[in-house]
Copies of this chain bind each other. A is one copy, B any other.
Amino acid sequence: MSPILPRDGRVEAGAYLYPVRVYYEDTDAAGLVYYANYLKFAERARTEMLRRLGVEQERLRAETGLGFVVRRCSVDYLLPARLDDDLVVLTRLAGLGAATLDIEQEVHRGAATLVRLSLAIAAVGRNGRPQRLPPTLRAALLSLNETTKMVTAHAR
């Protein structure tokens, strides 16, 4: 569906699509991508999605003290990825609280869904306690879903 993605991905139908190539470092002796490494792919995608929305995490932390912490992560391994695979990570905002984000992610190879991740993420301040997301960040995150609605509206 999205054959050629640029390095910094693309927003499409309410999801952020980010390309990941599988290298030797990602695989293990079973010849497949090691199960923990999908969490790295997913984190890269979330980071680039935020960057796309104008958020550099380091600057955000420096300026507002706000950082993101994963509270819960569930991973379903449906099919294995292999060396040299050209994968796409889809990231969607599933929920937005005052100081929390629910994120759904999928790792695709062509039309096949290999892995599904579901994450509960907390926004915390320097003291490690919950900190409200700044309005500009909320708006940026919600704009992702706007694209869905726009696409849906357009499709009618």
- A43 interface hit (Cβ, 8 Å): yes
- The dominant DSSP class at the A interface is mixed
State the oligomeric state as a number of copies. Answer: 4
Query: Is there a chain B Cβ closer than 8 Å to A146's Cβ?
Result: no
- Is A64 an interface residue when CB atoms closer than 8 A count as contact? no
Among the stretches A28-36, A97-105, A136-144, the one at the interface with B is: A28-36
- Chain A contact residues, CB within 8 Å of chain B: 5-7, 19, 21, 23-25, 27-32, 34-37, 39-40, 43-44, 47-48, 56-58, 67, 69-77, 82-84
Residue contact A70 to B77, C-beta cutoff 8 Å: yes
Q: A5-B7, A27-B28 are in contact. List 9 more A-B contacts (CB 8 A).
A: A6-B7, A23-B44, A29-B82, A39-B39, A56-B84, A58-B83, A71-B77, A72-B74, A72-B76
